[in-house]
Chains A and B, each alone.
Chain A
Amino acid sequence: MPRIALFISQRLVKAVFVVLAIAVFNFFLVHAAPGDPAAVMAGEAGAADAKFVEQLRQQFGLDRPLYEQLGTYMSKVVQADLGYSYRQQRPVFDLLVDRLPVTLSLTLTAFVLALLGGIALGTLAAMRAGTWSDTAITVVGLTAYATPIFWIGLMLILLFSVNLGWLPAFGTESIGAGYTGWEAFLDRARHLVLPVTTLGLFYMAVYTRLTRASILEVRDMDFVKTARAKGLPEWRIVSVHILRNAILPVITVAGFQAGHLIGGSILIETVFALPGIGRLAFEAVLQRDYQVLLGIFLLTSVVVVVFNLLTDLIYSLVDPRIEVAP
């Protein structure tokens, strides 16, 4: 068996146990919060009697002992059944599948743009360290990093949507416009501009700073001098010699952040009224919709495990000195 296949299969076996352990932990975590879905629904109805609450607890299975509930849940999880949201009257899997496209189109776009833009800007800033362009990039990056993300979102809405009227302020599409085909795609893309920019700015700031710092460390090393001495063109020195050696920390952080792609955009989804996973998770917390919350946690933990594995693989591609070892 080739080394890499062995590595992947061993890591996957470990991952299964990790994910199951996380599921058990999550189960106790969500049940540790005070109140339950029945209490929430009674609170929302503005009126209740004893029968109302009792019926709800029975329907949600909350009248059973906790270990029994855990047993039921885990036996479903191993069969890849994420359970049922009684509050929303739908299987959790369907709820997640409904929300995933919105979240992924937001976070993936923002992630890719931020990664590319961040590396480019960071490289530019590092290669011209000390000049005005370096200062400009650093200041903008620091501001984007330090400003609360929802505030940036609201300000962008005020500027581009309220004052200038160029872009829609929220939602994923023009509701009731009845667009089809190319028009519908463009409409959706226009709705994504502001949220993607808001989220992307934050990530981009992180990558810019990392890339810049990392390149500054590498650019004066001996092998760079050698490359210069050989008379290589500057773009080749930067892209092949410097960047390849400086990129590892960026990949590490990108790997972490990729794990957050699913749930890491609650604020953006709230400000821009996007029906994504982040909001689903947030509402599930408030509503104590245990099954939905556990489903999202499980999905997130799977994504984190997968991206960790991918990050390790990418390391060895970028830097052949790093070998994969089970």
Chain B
Amino acid sequence: MSNRLRHFRQTLTAAALAAALAAPLALTVPGVAVAQERGGTMNIIVQPEPPILVLALNQQGPTQTVAGKIYQGLLTFGFDLKPQPELAESWEVSPDGKVYTFKLVKNAKWHDGKPFTAHDVVFSTSKLLMETHPRARATFSKCEKIEALDDHTVQFTLKEPFGPFLQAFEVSSAPMMPKHIYDGTDYKANPANATPIGTGPFKFKEWNKGSYIHLVRNDEYWKAGKPYLDDIYFRVIPDAASRAVAVEQGTVQQTQFNDIETFDVPRLKGLPNVEMTTKGYEFFAPLSWIEINTRNKPLDDKRFRQAMMHAIDRKFIRDKIWFGLGRPATGPVNSVTRFFEPNVRKYDFDPKKAEALLEEAGYKKGADGTRAKVRLLVMPYGETWTRLGEYVKQAMKRVGVDVTLETTDAAGWVNRVSNWDYDLSFNFVYQYGDPALGVTRTYVSDNIRKGVMFSNTMGYSNPEVDKLFAQAAQTNKDEERQQLYSAAQKILVEDVPVAWLLEMEFPTFVDKRFKNAVTTAIGVNESYDSVYMVKK
């Protein structure tokens, strides 16, 4: 071997060694820039294709994942749901819990070069989002005033304390929008919507509708040296089987949420080129349930609903229908959401108890062995829910309840459930880290609103629960809130306004060469400014 060649080989070995040593180091100590080289292209599945990318105007799941790279919020949240700085470098809360003051980063710029200032924050939260964003509207309407103290300081003054106020500054809950582009325009018809402009690490480049969305590195990004990736392509692949193939072939380097059907998960988990994690969904922490229209007989009877809880085997659902993803739910709050209460009435899987409850409620077996008949409107969100419908039908049959399955598409489902035209259905909603943001809305009686989806569509009403939820939101003392929420959870679990099924988990598959993809509670919706590719 010639000297030059040997030298070359040695250099290569040394480089490989350095990379191998540095990679684990970088994982344990975020911010160490040794192994985090510039460069690389990431292909991520986006499904279904978002209608538009302006996060303030559309908060569909896929929109959040793509737009989370373009737009930013003031805060982000760790796995423990504690706030972390993003566009706000620090913040203060007054002792009475009414005044929140944010110090903004000074060097952030919009993608068109204009500086990001406190005036953008005031405009976004007091004007634009109030007009376009239902969740932000609910939060910021609690503000008495929102003002810029100087170019980099914003102050929110609340009418009364609101426990989860900080949670409202996560990127999808309150994306910051450029005032100089939107102020005084018709937000939804603004031509700039076609080319979104944010402060994030990636800039919008091109959208080939039906095929892909191309984002490129923002060279002027306000965090020095970041981001590491040059390009991100979001690929639209509508067929679930083809998406699985795309992962197997390495055509895409990441999938998230429901991209991969549950039955494909065990197979893809075994692939050598990808890693699976269920972390990074803590902020959303969805909980699935059987939605129960408590206006209709026999569902108006608490004992009938309790019987349903006993008749359905949540562990079976988790293991056989969701292939091990998720945890059997015990009540209305996901155990990773704040203020979860474990000590509530337990509904173990026990068809005998279910039958006893039905007997007690007066639902005797008829000549054909049937106690009652109900309809179940299957949620049209993929194969897995259809399987669940079939299981529920069988499980209820065992205790003498005849379930008729009804099918529809997404529009029909929303239309019927929101107008209370159903007996049973399925549903799952995000909890956004705090009961006041994602749990209350399902159970309080002032949210019984016909025609509005994800409201209290069951028509459940309990003044005690209403009071507890109201009090718990109006304080920012965590201990006090815990007591109030614990009390509310105990009542709800006794009343069974919905039959809780699973604390849902989603599989995120990431190509092993890409590091730092999931680092916070908003996981794949994060800005990806610290994601890097290990080159081999």
Contact = CB atoms under 8 A, between A and B. Distances in A.
Contacts of A51: 134, 137
Contacts of A99: 209-210
Interface residues of A, number: 54
B411 A50 contact: no
A286 B451 contact: no
A203 interface: no
Given A162-B248, A279-B210, A288-B411, A175 B134 contact: no
Interface string B430-467: 10000000000100000001011111000000000000
A34 B134 contact: no
B412 interface: yes
Interface stretch (A125-133, A265-273, A310-318): A265-273
Nearest to B235: A175
Given A170-B237, A176-B233, A273-B238, A286 B410 contact: yes
A227 B209 CA distance: 57
Interface string A30-42: 0001111101111
A175 B249 CA distance: 15
Interface in A247-296: 270-276, 279-280, 283, 285-288
Contacts of B412: 33-35
B468 to A, nearest CB: 22
Contacts of B415: 34-36, 39
A59 B429 contact: no
B43 interface: yes
Interface string B227-261: 00001010111110110011011010000000000
B242 A39 contact: no
A226 B119 CA distance: 93
B490 interface: no
Interface stretch (B8-16, B57-65, B78-86): B57-65
B134 A39 contact: no
A176 B43 CA distance: 10
A186 interface: no
| Centre residue among A34, A50, A154 by max chain B CB count within 10 A | A34
Interface string B389-424: 000000000000000000011111111101000000
A43 B413 contact: yes
Query: Chain A interface mostly helix, strand, loop or mixed?
Result: helix
Given A47-B135, A49-B138, A51-B137, A275 B209 contact: yes
Contact of B246 (A150, A170, A276): A170
Given A53-B451, A89-B52, A275-B236, A172 B211 contact: yes
A293 B463 CA distance: 46
B188 interface: yes
B185 interface: no
Contact of B429 (A46, A162, A171, A272): A46
| Centre residue among A41, A48, A59, A280 by max chain B CB count within 10 A | A48
11 contacts: A47-B135, A47-B429, A48-B452, A48-B454, A50-B452, A51-B134, A88-B209, A102-B210, A161-B249, A162-B249, A275-B208
A-B residue pairs, 7 tightest by C-beta: A275-B210, A35-B411, A35-B415, A43-B414, A39-B414, A34-B412, A44-B60
Interface of B: 41, 43, 48-49, 51-52, 58-61, 134-135, 137-138, 188, 193-194, 208-212, 214, 231, 233, 235-239, 241-242, 245-246, 248-249, 251, 408-416, 418, 429-430, 441, 449, 451-455
Given A34-B411, A89-B51, 11 more contacts: A35-B412, A39-B411, A40-B414, A42-B453, A43-B453, A45-B60, A49-B137, A102-B210, A270-B239, A272-B242, A285-B409
